[in-house]
Amino acid sequence: MATEIERKFLLQNDTWKSVARPGVRYRQGYLCDSGPASVRVRIGGQQAYLNIKSATLGVQRSEYEYEIAMEEAEELLAQLARKPLVEKTRYCVAHAQHIWEIDVFEGDNAGLVVAEIELRSADESFERPPWLGAEVSDDPRYYNVCLVEHPYKDW
């Protein structure tokens, strides 16, 4: 079984920008976001994916991801995905032994910036970067799937 172990954090400042790799723009939409799993289509740069993720809360969830044709991804986003789409730019920052992914959201979620780290186990230790703020891993408002129905601008 494919498992994602991911923790999410807010940021306390933007000093991460000076060490970040160039960002990649993402557009993603949900074909299904209720029941035991969410089904998402995501375009990031020149690649497109279909992603299925268990709808459980917490840092550990089942996740399956498959590359799909860009043309099909565009059609799915235009015709079948719930609106509005989630749009963001993702930046990667290496810190200690980990890569942090920092998502700067756009559109209805503009102003929201979240850092994520993927771990090998739920209890794996990691060094906190100086720009890292409060953990929000257990707050469903910060899940991308929730940002469609309850965007950051409405909080």
Q: pLDDT tens across 106-140, in order? A: 999 999 999 999 999 999 999 999 999 999 999 99
Three-state secondary structure call for residue 10? strand
Q: Annotated active-site positions, please? A: 30
What's this model's pTM, rounded to 2 decimal places? 0.94
Alpha-carbon distance of 47 to 39, in angstroms, equals 17
Examine the pLDDT at 98 and tell me if it is beyond 90: yes
Query: In order of start, what are the domains of the chain with their CATH numbers?
Result: 3-154 (2.40.320.10)
Q: Look up residue 22 and give its DSSP letter.
A: P
